[in-house]
């Protein structure tokens, strides 16, 4: 007659994702001939929030890819006769004060935003994962040092820092933007991933790997990472949309890579030329909506990932979509007490 | 009906005229996305004035749900599907929010499972007494604090602790505080839900002794919920055994101790060793408690019952298809078991 | 007490890192730092600002010297308040420029953030307490949807529709052009009027996040035993919600407040830019575009210090509000 203690399940990754991945291919082979959909994708598509997000994001990606074919006008066209035109059949989104077609700018801009965002997110996630897990696993001085660095990074405000760094750069290109974004945005995820790694640190499989003599880096990448993959993926999505926002933001201020078509750049010119103060809403509304839509899609995906890995946050369908979107929230994960119904 | 075994002193049979709490065919379900898990299945339970009733069973059998049902504190997704909870004959489910608010603590109060968490960590202990007193009667803060200090003394704590924060007190002290808080308004019924599980044996003993003394002095009834049958045998007048949401046996405590009838009760009794006597092999109860979402058909205990044998066909058929009904097999001794039904 | 000193120590360390970062950044750019900076200037700028080379020298602490010699000079400059001379506002000192513009930002962020906090926490608290009610089903999601949009987009939309089209609010700057700064009513009321829309934007952008955070934590807090006990004691519903649930639930968001401050500073820059509001954020952006390095560095330092101070205040608040921290 022992008291059954509730499991300590803070930040423990959902094994369902891993199991699904294993079962997926086998299930396909067993039955009919179908497209091999990886288990995690199937899970995410099953959840309405992430499904919506994935659909919207895919649409945006497709538009970005086919940009050359649908946007015939060169985004950097200079044509005074066409300038400052409101949306029409010929120029779907109108034109800028320089006569460039805004539709093309938005389509081509999608490429730049997505690519820079993804690359920066990749860099930041790699940094966060490596440093976070290293800190958790090594403990002691290494942990303290990494924590200190992370804390300092978190306390120095990112936007002003990026503004200053960007102002020093002689030339701003996509690559440099990716670098500075990646190197500044890794902090908060490093903290979260460290927390999760801490929970895993004393698990048997880690301890046995350690005893077997596996090197630190080996353990980090082949033991920790596979079991934290859902959290790492979520971290990536989070940094992705923050990177997109920050990149667009910097361009909006005139401090990003201003030479190519992008959403932020279009909006910068709209602001600086005071065109919108003269009633021209199209230069800022369309890129802005595109930006907001992309970010919203990513946030929805994130919410879906949250729900899939944390069943407590799932709500019954009666609630509205937007409302149930932010049910959980990543920051507020308290320990789950599986209170027995008795 | 004898009460406490220790000194043979207890409430006389005459006291049990007035029934305080009556649970009539109470059904409580947990509704989760369309599925129903029945935590309390047509339970009938009475607690008389001044009576100490023990409710025993494994974790997950529905005991705490019953406690919450009496206080009308069930939280979603739990809901009372049918049945009644009567207090002095009045149906509690029909009370308005304000009536319920007044009813709580004044008539029935509760000692929760983990006292550590029952106290607001940000408020001083004394203020939490004051809170409660002011919600039920007109009293000045100073008077309330003085009374709180008195109550703390009654449970064996120093008056000065009224100014302490919960985290500054030890586990045992917190539990005593909770007991004091529960008795402040002199309720007729005190529900104790696993009050001592988180404490070590010595403190356990002290606290229960304290409650016993107070009960004798103030005469309130007690519904004592626990998984530890040994405590109940000592402490209560009557014991009800719960299994998988149903009451399977109920009898005066010494009767239950001497002659447990239901196989589950027998198993429980055999699960803890006697302090004296020959060393015997302890036999537990095979199997595990059932999943309440899909309980076994017929008698819920049959998969684990040693007397359930496919070879005795007729009996086996009954055991696996028919739900046993609680019947009074001896005065005051109720059992729900097919084995005792066959004449 | 010990914990206090540790926090303080950390903050001092962080400030030191910010200062050193400022020192290192121009030097990390390939080539001679002064030469690199000079490259960014146009000839007209150099001619228009005769003392500009000198300014840079001060800023860099003497360019010809190796780093380890220049560093102490630089540090001394910082601690005597000499942040250099602003090249775009020549010959004003950087500290002067910051002194002129910072108050406007503080006013904006101070009022806006506090309003957003109160609104967000209030909405989150009620939404969690009465799940499925009006607040939970309508007010919350609306706040969230609004907060989902990037700060500068929201500002632009608002400026356009509410400011331009409807003419309800002034669109730019901190005060009317015919008014001069001073402690007189004309100036103050004008300043206030101009701050209204930016403050509204701040509230919109941040309240949603607070509300969500508070709601989630409240939901978890409500499950706690002491809340159930409070209800069992027969306390009034409202008292349980505020004194027992909310009072405890507010602690994590309060800590989050400090963390959010860094991003608030970022959002501030955008908002000021859209409104051409002459606060520290707008000044930073203009300075960055104009390659006014002394000013950008000075502002970065000031921003970092502000965030650190805000964090420290939050730590103090935590200490006061949570007795558990006090005794540990």
Is the CB of residue B31 less than 8 Å from the CB of residue B77?
yes
Determine, for residues B62 and A3 on separate chains, whether the beta-carbon distance falls below 8 Å. Answer: no
Q: What is the pLDDT of residue A125?
A: 93
- What is the per-residue burial (b if ≥16 Cβ within 10 Å, else e) of C83-118? bbbbbbbbebbbbebbebbbebbebbbebbbebbbe
Same domain, B95 and B167: no
**Mean pLDDT value across residues C122-142:** 79
Q: What is the pLDDT of residue A321?
A: 38
Cα-Cα-Cα-Cα dihedral sign, residues B198, B202, B205, B206: negative
Q: Which residues of C touch B69 (CB under 8 A)?
A: none
Same domain, B253 and B276: yes
Q: Per the domain annotation, does B7 fall within a domain?
A: no
Distance from CA of B174 to the nearest CA of A (A): 21
What would the pLDDT profile of B163-192 be if each residue is shown by its tens digit?
Answer: 999 888 888 888 889 989 999 998 999 999
- What is the per-residue burial (b if ≥16 Cβ within 10 Å, else e) of C137-168? bebbbebbeebbbbbbbbbbbbbbeebbeeee
Same domain, B272 and B159: no
Beta-carbon contacts of residue C317 (< 8 Å; ≥ 6 apart): C254
Q: What percent of chain A has pLDDT over 90?
A: 6
Q: Which of B128, B155, B184 is the last residue of a domain?
A: B184
Distance from CA of C266 to the nearest CA of A (A): 5
Same domain, B234 and B85: yes
**Residue of chain C nearest B118, judged by CA positions:** C226
Determine, for residues A1 and B292 on separate chains, whether the beta-carbon distance falls below 8 Å. Answer: no
Determine, for residues C234 and B123 on separate chains, whether the beta-carbon distance falls below 8 Å. Answer: no
Side-chain half-sphere exposure of A311, counting CA atoms within 13 A? 10
Q: How far out from the chain centre does Cα C23 lie? A: 23
Same domain, B142 and B208: no
Structural domain including B141 reads 119-184
Same domain, B173 and B200: no
Q: Per the domain annotation, does B8 fall within a domain?
A: no
Instruction: Look at residue B135 and tell me whether its pLDDT is greater than 60.
Output: yes
Same domain, B124 and B191: no
Same domain, B151 and B33: no
Any idea which residue has 């958790």 for tokens? A136
Query: C259 or C117, which is more confident?
Result: C117
Tokens describing residue C305? 């210090």
**Mean pLDDT value across residues C222-234:** 85
Question: By the CB < 8 Å criterion, does C65 face chain B?
Answer: no
Distance from CA of A93 to the nearest CA of C (A): 17
Q: Per the domain annotation, does B166 fall within a domain?
A: yes
DSSP-H helix ranges across C130-184:
134, 140-148, 151-158
DSSP states of B300-327: TTGGG-TT--TTSHHHHHHHHHS----E
Tokens describing residue C176? 């009317």
Q: What percent of chain C has pLDDT over 70?
A: 74
Among A residues 282-341, those touching chain C with beta carbons less than 8 Å apart: 284-285, 288, 291-292, 295-296, 299, 319-320, 322-323, 325-329, 331-332, 334, 337, 339
Determine, for residues C233 and B113 on separate chains, whether the beta-carbon distance falls below 8 Å. Answer: no
ipTM over 0.90: no
Q: Per the domain annotation, does B1 fall within a domain?
A: no
pLDDT, mean over chain A: 73
Is the CB of residue B165 less than 8 Å from the CB of residue C323?
yes
The pairing of strands B52-56 and B221-226 is parallel
Q: H or E element: which one contains B78? A: strand B78-87
Q: Which of B155, B184, B213 is the last residue of a domain?
A: B184
Q: How far out from the chain centre does Cα B171 lie? A: 21
Determine, for residues A254 and C141 on separate chains, whether the beta-carbon distance falls below 8 Å. Answer: no
Provide the number of CB pairs (under 8 Å) joining chain A to chain C: 164
Q: Which of B130, B150, B184 is the last residue of a domain?
A: B184
Is the CB of residue A104 less than 8 Å from the CB of residue A71?
yes
Structural domain count of chain B: 2
Rounded Cα distance between C61 and C64, Å, is: 9
Determine, for residues C308 and A155 on separate chains, whether the beta-carbon distance falls below 8 Å. Answer: yes
Q: What is the pLDDT of residue C54?
A: 64
Q: Per the domain annotation, does B223 fall within a domain?
A: yes
Query: SS3 of B187, please?
Result: coil
Residue C115, CA distances (Å) to A189, B1, C199, C252, C257 in order:
28, 66, 9, 18, 13
Q: What is the pLDDT of residue A325?
A: 37
Reported confidence tier of residue B239, pLDDT bands at 50, 70, 90: very high
**Mean pLDDT value across residues C261-281:** 83
Nearest to C240 by CA among C130, C121, C116: C130
What would the pLDDT profile of B41-73 be if each residue is shown by its tens digit?
Answer: 889 888 988 899 999 888 777 888 888 888 888
**Mean pLDDT value across residues C74-102:** 76
Q: What is the pLDDT of residue A52?
A: 82
Q: Which residues of A touch C166 (CB under 8 A)?
A: none
Same domain, B126 and B253: no
Question: By the CB < 8 Å criterion, does C231 face chain B?
Answer: yes
B284: how many CB neighbours lie within 10 A of its CB? 10
Rounded Cα distance between A329 and C120, Å, is: 15
Determine, for residues B120 and C234 on separate chains, whether the beta-carbon distance falls below 8 Å. Answer: no
Query: At B228, which CATH number?
Result: 3.40.50.300
Query: B48 or C261, which is more confident?
Result: B48
Determine, for residues C269 and A292 on separate chains, whether the beta-carbon distance falls below 8 Å. Answer: no
Determine, for residues C164 and A154 on separate chains, whether the beta-carbon distance falls below 8 Å. Answer: no
Same domain, B203 and B327: yes
Rounded Cα distance between A70 and A104, Å, is: 8
Reported confidence tier of residue B223, pLDDT bands at 50, 70, 90: very high
Nearest to A149 by CA among A119, A120, A183, A180: A183
What would the pLDDT profile of A60-102 be if each residue is shown by its tens digit?
Answer: 888 888 877 777 666 666 666 666 677 776 677 777 777 777 7
Q: Per the domain annotation, does B4 fall within a domain?
A: no
Same domain, B299 and B225: yes
Same domain, B205 and B337: yes
Chains that touch A (3 or more CB pairs under 8 A): B, C
Q: Per the domain annotation, does B3 fall within a domain?
A: no
Instruction: Look at residue A120 and tell me whether its pLDDT is greater than 90.
Output: yes
Q: Per the domain annotation, does B102 fall within a domain?
A: yes
Determine, for residues C152 and A249 on separate chains, whether the beta-carbon distance falls below 8 Å. Answer: yes
Among C residues 305-324, those touching chain B with beta carbons less than 8 Å apart: 321-324
Q: H or E element: which one contains A286? A: helix A282-309
Least confident of B91-100, C2-11, C49-58, C297-306: C49-58
Instruction: Look at residue B134 and tell me whether its pLDDT is greater than 50.
Output: yes
Reported confidence tier of residue A25, pLDDT bands at 50, 70, 90: very low
Among A residues 72-111, those touching chain C with beta carbons less than 8 Å apart: none
Crossing angle of the two packed helices C293-321 and C94-129, in degrees rounded to 10: 40
pLDDT, mean over chain C: 77
**Mean pLDDT value across residues C226-249:** 86
Query: A13 or B64, which is more confident?
Result: B64
Least confident of A320-329, B76-85, C183-192: A320-329
pLDDT, mean over chain B: 83
Best B40, B227, B229, B285 member to test A by mutation, with max A CBs in 10 Å, is B227
Q: What is the pLDDT of residue B240?
A: 92
* pTM given for the model: 0.70
Distance from CA of C243 to the nearest CA of B (A): 9
**Residue of chain B nearest C223, judged by CA positions:** B75
Q: What is the pLDDT of residue B130?
A: 92
Determine, for residues A157 and C14 on separate chains, whether the beta-carbon distance falls below 8 Å. Answer: no
DSSP states of C51-117: THHHHHHHHHT-SSS-HHHHHHHHHHHHHTT---B-STTTTSBHHHHHHHHHHHHHHHHHHHHHHHH
Residue A16, CA distances (Å) to A333, B174, B256, C151 in order:
19, 41, 47, 37
């Amino acid at each position: 007659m022992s008291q059954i203690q509730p499991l300590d399940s803070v930040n423990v990754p959902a094994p369902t994702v891993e199991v699904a991945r294993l079962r997926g291919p086998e299930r396909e082979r067993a039955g009919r001939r179908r497209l091999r959909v990886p288990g995690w994708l199937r899970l995410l598509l099953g959840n309405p929030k992430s499904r919506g997000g994935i659909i919207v994001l895919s649409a945006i990606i497709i538009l970005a890819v086919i940009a050359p074919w649908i946007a015939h006008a060169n985004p950097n066209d200079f044509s005074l006769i066409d300038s400052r035109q409101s949306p029409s059949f010929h120029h779907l989104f109108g034109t800028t004060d320089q006569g460039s077609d805004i539709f093309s700018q938005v389509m081509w801009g999608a490429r730049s935003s997505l690519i820079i965002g993804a690359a920066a997110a990749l860099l930041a996630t790699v940094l966060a994962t490596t440093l976070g897990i290293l800190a958790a696993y090594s403990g002691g001085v290494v942990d303290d040092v990494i924590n200190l660095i992370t804390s300092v990074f978190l306390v120095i405000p990112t936007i002003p820092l990026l503004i200053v760094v960007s102002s020093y750069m002689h030339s701003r290109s996509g690559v440099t933007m990716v670098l500075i974004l990646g190197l500044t945005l890794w902090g908060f995820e490093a903290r979260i991933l460290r927390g999760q790694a801490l929970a895993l640190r004393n698990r048997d499989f880690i301890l046995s790997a350690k005893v077997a003599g596996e090197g630190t880096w080996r353990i980090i990448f082949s033991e920790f990472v596979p079991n934290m993959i859902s959290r790492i993926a979520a971290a990536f999505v989070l940094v992705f949309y923050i990177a997109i926002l920050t990149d667009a933001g910097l361009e909006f201020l005139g401090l990003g890579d201003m030479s190519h078509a992008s959403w932020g750049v279009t909006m910068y010119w709209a602001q600086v030329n005071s065109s919108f103060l003269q009633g021209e809403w199209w230069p800022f509304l369309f890129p802005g909506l595109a930006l907001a839509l992309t970010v919203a899609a990513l946030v929805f995906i994130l919410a879906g990932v949250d729900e899939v890995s944390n069943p407590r946050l799932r709500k019954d369908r009666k609630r509205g979509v937007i409302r149930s979107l932010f049910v959980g929230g990543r920051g507020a994960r308290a320990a789950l007490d599986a209170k027995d119904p008795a | 009906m004898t009460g406490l075994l220790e000194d043979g002193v207890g409430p006389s049979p005459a006291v049990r005229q007035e029934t305080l709490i009556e649970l009539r065919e109470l059904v409580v379900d947990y509704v989760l996305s369309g599925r129903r898990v029945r935590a309390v299945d047509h339970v009938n339970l009475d607690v008389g004035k001044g009576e100490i009733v023990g409710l025993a069973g494994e974790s997950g059998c529905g005991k705490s749900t019953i406690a919450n049902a009496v206080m009308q504190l069930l939280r979603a997704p739990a809901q009372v599907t049918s049945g009644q909870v009567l207090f002095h004959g009045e149906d509690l489910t029909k009370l308005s929010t304000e009536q319920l608010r007044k009813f709580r603590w004044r008539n029935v109060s509760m000692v929760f499972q983990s006292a550590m968490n029952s106290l607001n960590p940000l408020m001083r202990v004394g203020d939490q007494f004051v809170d409660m007193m002011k919600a039920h009667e007109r009293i000045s803060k100073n008077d309330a604090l003085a009374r709180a200090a008195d109550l703390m003394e009654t449970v064996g704590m120093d008056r000065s602790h009224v100014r302490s924060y919960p985290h500054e007190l030890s586990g045992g002290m917190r539990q005593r505080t909770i007991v004091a808080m529960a008795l402040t308004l002199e309720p007729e019924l005190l529900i104790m839900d696993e009050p001592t599980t988180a404490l070590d044996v010595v403190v356990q003993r002290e606290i229960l002794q304290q409650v016993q003394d107070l009960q004798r002095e103030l005469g309130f009834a007690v519904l004592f919920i626990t998984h530890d049958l040994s405590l109940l045998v000592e402490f209560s007048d009557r014991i009800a055994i719960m299994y998988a949401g149903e009451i399977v046996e109920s009898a005066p405590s010494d009767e239950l101790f001497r002659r447990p009838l239901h196989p589950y009760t027998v198993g429980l009794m055999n699960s803890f060793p006697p302090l004296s006597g020959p060393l015997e092999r302890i036999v537990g109860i095979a199997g595990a408690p059932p999943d309440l979402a899909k309980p076994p058909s017929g008698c819920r205990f049959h998969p684990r019952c040693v007397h359930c044998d496919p070879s005795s066909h007729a009996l086996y058929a009954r055991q696996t298809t028919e739900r046993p009904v609680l019947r009074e097999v001896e005065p005051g001794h109720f059992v729900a078991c097919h084995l005792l039904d066959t004449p | 007490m010990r914990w206090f000193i540790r926090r303080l120590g950390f903050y001092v360390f962080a400030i030191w890192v910010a200062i050193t970062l400022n020192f290192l950044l121009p030097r990390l750019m390939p080539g001679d730092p002064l030469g690199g900076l000079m490259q960014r200037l146009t000839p007209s700028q150099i001619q228009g600002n005769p003392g500009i080379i000198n300014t840079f020298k001060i800023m860099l602490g003497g360019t010809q010297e190796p780093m380890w010699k220049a560093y102490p000079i630089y540090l001394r400059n910082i601690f005597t308040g000499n942040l250099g001379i602003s090249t775009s506002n020549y010959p004003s000192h950087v500290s002067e420029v910051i002194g002129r513009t910072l108050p406007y930002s503080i006013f904006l962020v101070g009022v806006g953030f506090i309003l957003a906090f109160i609104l967000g926490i209030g909405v989150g608290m009620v939404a969690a307490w009465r799940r499925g009610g009006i607040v939970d089903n309508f007010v919350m999601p609306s706040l969230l949807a609004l907060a989902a949009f990037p700060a500068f987009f929201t500002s632009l939309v608002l400026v356009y529709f509410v400011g331009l089209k409807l003419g309800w609010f002034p669109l730019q700057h901190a005060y009317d052009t015919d008014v001069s700064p001073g402690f007189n009513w004309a100036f103050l009321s004008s300043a206030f009027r101009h701050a209204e829309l930016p403050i509204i934007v701040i509230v919109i952008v941040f309240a949603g996040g607070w509300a969500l955070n508070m709601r989630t934590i409240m939901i978890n807090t409500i499950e706690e035993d002491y809340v159930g006990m409070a209800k069992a004691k027969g306390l009034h519903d409202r008292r349980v919600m505020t004194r027992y649930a909310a009072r405890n639930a507010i602690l994590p968001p309060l800590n989050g407040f400090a963390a959010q401050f860094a991003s608030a500073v970022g959002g501030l820059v955008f908002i000021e830019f859209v409104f051409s509001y002459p606060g520290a954020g707008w000044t930073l952006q203009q300075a960055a575009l104009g390659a006014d390095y002394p000013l950008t560095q000075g502002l970065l330092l000031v921003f970092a210090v502000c965030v650190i101070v805000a964090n420290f205040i939050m730590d103090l608040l935590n200490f006061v509000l949570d007795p558990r921290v006090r005794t540990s």
